[in-house]
Structure 1
């Protein structure tokens, strides 16, 4: 049975406990392979929430299910957010844009769909100076920032980011997390996947540990360290990943 994403509109925004997005017993199968297994997860307004787990653990598929890009095989995804032109903004892991368009022309198209200001979007992600540069001439980091601008068009109350800092230099990675933090501070529910454990420990309000398609634990960073009797998220991560050093490339793991 396939169940669709549903929306619960509220005149006063999110529910009293600030819930914005809920996965309830979500499973996703591809043929005989189960990629996401009976996941229940709540994403809250005003929080920066990270998904961490080994490569191939199901993080990208889970984000796609939450964004409504894929439908669950069983279970439900429920949106609890105020009604507006765009409820969920999504940054894919490998964004692509139509070639020959400039950065400004690209965001002008997306902004026109939700009555937003493309120049303001460019400014927010720090690409005003690249407004007239064609998308194929942008660096990988600039392309990812442009994709973030697309995800923010319409000021969605829920923002899902799939490894937003992957492949970025430290300066651009810091800019990306600064934008994510500002979104949460403004009341958005921000969920992102990452392999940068130091970043997650330093900046996130809550972290969900993902392994073999399951969300095995969700808690603030400090609680995870206490529960796993360790002083770093690397210790937590290696416990979840079975102690395998080959399970994932960990950025900032020694911090």
Structure 2
């Protein structure tokens, strides 16, 4: 598996008045891997995602893309995807696919929704709506896919399914960045973890290295990575 970064940040900072929502964050988002972004509420996760997507401009620092030319560099799943009522799943996928000359059937097959292609989007469960959101994020075959809380509020079985899809799209060579509070699933799925607190990078490394730092499973010992209780693991120091 390659670990070449498709996205890199250097001293990325976003300020609102005298408040730094993100403070000098430098990290790499590698290809063919899942990078899990975790941290308490208000830690700067959403701000970081917005800067990476170009929705917000940084106050200081840079975001660099070093991937292939693509119709869309980044696909995005928001926390609460919504779709226009009155359309079926395949019609909705066809709308997004048509914007970038893609195949809607391919998108639905990738996320496992081909069996409900003719269902109205308003009749989808919350989990299926998230899967359709991932399908639209994949339209145009973007090298980078950003997922904001893809399994929030879902039952365990659907959460597992969502994370299996996430693994499969990373295995195709994409850089996947997901923000999530589902720590057991993130720890099991992610190749790399990034821990934010109060807008600052507290730790980054692979799950095994951060378990060692934290002293146990992250969902049980997560707070030991916060508030400077451990030194930050050097980015790239995953071995």
User: Same fold judged by TM-score > 0.5?
Assistant: yes
Query: How big is the shift at 1:84?
Result: 1.6
Return the alpha-carbon distance in structure 1 between the equivalents of residues 66 and 134 of structure 2. 22
Q: Assess if the C-alpha contact under 8 Å between 1:24 and 1:39 holds in 2.
A: yes
Return the alpha-carbon distance in structure 2 between the equivalents of residues 111 and 234 of structure 1. 38
Q: Assess if the C-alpha contact under 8 Å between 1:20 and 1:189 holds in 2.
A: yes
Deviations 1:123-153 (A, max 9, x none): 2212222222222222211111111000011
Q: Of the candidates 163, 175, 196, which is equivalent to residue 210 of structure 1?
A: 196
2:147 aligned partner: 161
2:57 aligned partner: 71
2:223 aligned partner: 238
Query: How big is the shift at 1:198?
Result: 1.2
Structure 1 unmatched runs, 5+? 1-15, 244-255
Return the alpha-carbon distance in structure 1 between the equivalents of residues 140 and 42 of structure 2. 32
DSSP-derived class of the 2:195 partner? strand
DSSP-derived class of the 1:57 partner? coil
Q: Is 1:129 aligned with 2:108?
A: no
Return the alpha-carbon distance in structure 1 between the equivalents of residues 157 and 206 of structure 2. 26
Q: Of the candidates 204, 211, 215, which is equivalent to residue 225 of structure 1?
A: 211
Query: How big is the shift at 1:214?
Result: 1.1
Query: How big is the shift at 1:185?
Result: 1.5
Query: How big is the shift at 1:241?
Result: 4.0
2:157 aligned partner: 171
Q: Is 1:38 aligned with 2:38?
A: no
Q: Is 1:113 aligned with 2:99?
A: yes
Return the alpha-carbon distance in structure 2 between the equivalents of residues 128 and 175 of structure 1. 15
DSSP-derived class of the 1:108 partner? helix
Q: Assess if the C-alpha contact under 8 Å between 1:224 and 1:236 holds in 2.
A: no
Return the alpha-carbon distance in structure 2 between the equivalents of residues 34 and 121 of structure 1. 38
Query: How big is the shift at 1:48?
Result: 1.0
2:237 aligned partner: none
Return the alpha-carbon distance in structure 2 between the equivalents of residues 100 and 28 of structure 1. 40
Deviations 1:164-203 (A, max 9, x none): 1111122221121111111222211111011111112222
Q: Assess if the C-alpha contact under 8 Å between 2:3 and 2:33 holds in 1.
A: no
Structure 2 unmatched runs, 5+? 229-239
Q: Of the candidates 50, 58, 63, which is equivalent to residue 44 of structure 2?
A: 58
Return the alpha-carbon distance in structure 2 between the equivalents of residues 119 and 30 of structure 1. 43
1:21 aligned partner: 7
Q: Assess if the C-alpha contact under 8 Å between 2:3 and 2:32 holds in 1.
A: no
DSSP-derived class of the 1:121 partner? helix
* Count of residues in correspondence between the two structures: 227
User: Over aligned residues, Cα RMSD in angstroms?
Assistant: 1.8
Return the alpha-carbon distance in structure 1 between the equivalents of residues 157 and 3 of structure 2. 35
